[in-house]
Amino acid sequence: MNRKIIGFRTEEFKTFSVLEEKVKRAVDELKGIAGKVLNKNKVEDWNSYLNDPLEYLAQRYFELYGKNEPPNAMPLRFLKSKVDIDERRLKIANNTFWQSSQRMREYAPIIEDTRVVFNLKEEDFNIYLNPEKKADYDAVKTFFDAAMALKEKGLGKTSINLVRYAEGVVMGNNGAEINPYYFQ
């Protein structure tokens, strides 16, 4: 179905883009810490890693390098004795991931076993014309375009008159404009 785009939710998109960048930086930070601790071995279970990063790293490190340790050895103690891990950085990156992801609501990344998938798409912020309001939109657009042409020639009045005359026209930052939300 080919729907007509009549606007874009710019501010919302900017807000979610900033949040997604924070999440991406947090994921990169978490990958870097895991890479340092696990000697380039990748995170195999992102759900576990994000739910308790220190515990995940301890268990994974122990699986990789603790084969000769006694069966009652504690993975976290073993990890801390072998690797200098910045727990504060780990906690900050993890908290940033969860806080920013939560604020992203339906645009939050999807956590899969082997990766984190980002799903913020620009087209999700398009405003589409409601087919039932097409005739109204076309009439307002024709009226608006004619009024702007008159104004450019010095024959039109101030923009506020358009807002008073036609429903679906609002005052924006640059004068009168068609309100896409009215026609969605």
- State the Cα–Cα distance between residues 75 and 64, nearest whole angstrom: 11
Where on the phi/psi map is residue 40: left (φ > 0), alpha (ψ -120 to 50), or beta? left
pLDDT tens for 34-59 read: 999 998 778 999 999 999 999 999 99
The residue-averaged pLDDT of 121-128 equals 96
The residue-averaged pLDDT of 98-126 equals 96
How confident is the model at residue 149, as a pLDDT?
Answer: 87
- State the Cα–Cα distance between residues 4 and 91, nearest whole angstrom: 45
Average predicted confidence (pLDDT) for the chain = 92
* pLDDT at residue 1 greater than cutoff 80: no
pLDDT tens for 72-87 read: 899 999 999 999 999 9
Our CA angle for 122, 106, 113, nearest 5°, is: 100
How confident is the model at residue 152, as a pLDDT?
Answer: 82
Residues β-bridged to residue 169? 178
pLDDT tens for 137-180 read: 999 999 888 888 888 888 877 677 778 778 888 888 878 889 99
How confident is the model at residue 112, as a pLDDT?
Answer: 93
The residue-averaged pLDDT of 107-131 equals 95
Based on the number of CB atoms within 10 Å of its own CB, is 178 exposed (0-12), middle (13-18) or buried (19 or more)? buried
